[in-house]
Amino acid sequence: MEIWINPACSKCRSAIDLLDAEGAEYTVRRYLEDVPSPDEIRTVLDRLGLEPWDITRTQETAAKELGLKDWPRDADSRDRWVSALAEHPKLIQRPIITAEDGTALVARTDEAVRDALSR
């Protein structure tokens, strides 16, 4: 199990606290420092069953500067979104947990973290 976190994020810290309380084995990836490649983002999206715009923090300054709210959300634009996430990792929703069963989820709630633990 791997968890992508921003240590400054309260949701990430809560997820780590719960994983620790449950005695889970996991690897921490500080994705702002260890930036995922476009291929890694695509893999996580596949595991999440989501599209890049589904995990994009659209209220971030970089999102506004890029004009993301006006970008098309379709198959032809998918690579453009993935590239934006790779170039501006702060736009990636957090925390993301890759579960043991090959799936992943955005673990912003205790319920989502427990769901990841049960997989």
The residues assigned a catalytic role are 9
Query: Furthest-apart CA pair in the chain: how many Å?
Result: 43
Which parts of 22-77 fold into alpha helices (H)? 38-48, 61-66
Say which residue the tokens 């995922």 belong to: 36
CA angle 98–103–107, rounded 5-degree value: 50
d(CA 83, CA 38): 6
